[in-house]
């Protein structure tokens, strides 16, 4: 499969899955509520995150984070496009990683533009220790980064001696 087609299919699939799950959570749960799925380990929650990963810059007193994150996302998507253009067609790991990251970035970008915040709803915890809530787009970003690391591992050249 051509690298642009593969990356585009993955990105579109992520955006659809991300937006569909966020719409479902928004339609079925009140904001700031949760429902245990696996007692003591996993909850579905409805959280609104105005910041970045793990709530970074999430304060309501910061009024510039929305345009900042929208701008950073647009620049990142441009860089992803450049990376995809320079990626060998045979490197499926890199192509897949870039497609997943693009889809995750667009999924959260849609929320920022439409709502001014990102909807998060997956809440994992062990006892009192909680991982910050996240969403399908965040999962795609993480898996995409993993794919890129795998690509870099498999495609590194022979070690050069000094």
Active-site positions read 120, 138
* C-beta separation of 44 from 37 below 8 A: yes
Query: Taking the CB of residue 141, how many other CB atoms lie within 10 A of it?
Result: 23
Give me the count of residues in the chain: 162
Helix (H) or strand (E) run with residue 83 in it: helix 65-86
Q: If 0-12 CB within 10 Å is exposed, 13-18 middle and 19+ buried, where does residue 1 land? A: exposed
């Amino acid at each position: 499969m051509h690298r642009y087609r593969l990356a585009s299919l993955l990105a579109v699939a992520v955006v659809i899955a991300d937006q569909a799950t966020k719409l479902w959570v928004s339609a079925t749960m009140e904001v700031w509520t949760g429902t245990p799925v696996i007692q003591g380990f996993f909850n579905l929650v409805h959280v609104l995150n105005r910041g970045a990963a793990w709530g970074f810059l999430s304060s309501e007193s910061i009024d510039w984070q929305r345009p900042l994150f929208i701008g950073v996302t647009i620049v990142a998507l441009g860089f992803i496009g450049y990376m995809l253009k320079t990626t060998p067609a045979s490197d499926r790991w890199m192509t897949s990683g870039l497609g997943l990251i693009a889809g995750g970035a667009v999924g959260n970008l849609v929320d920022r533009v439409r709502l001014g915040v990102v909807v998060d709803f997956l809440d994992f915890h062990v006892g009192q220790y909680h991982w910050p809530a996240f969403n399908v787009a965040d999962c795609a970003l993480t898996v995409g980064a993993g794919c890129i690391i795998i690509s870099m591992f498999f495609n590194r050249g022979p070690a050069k001696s000094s």
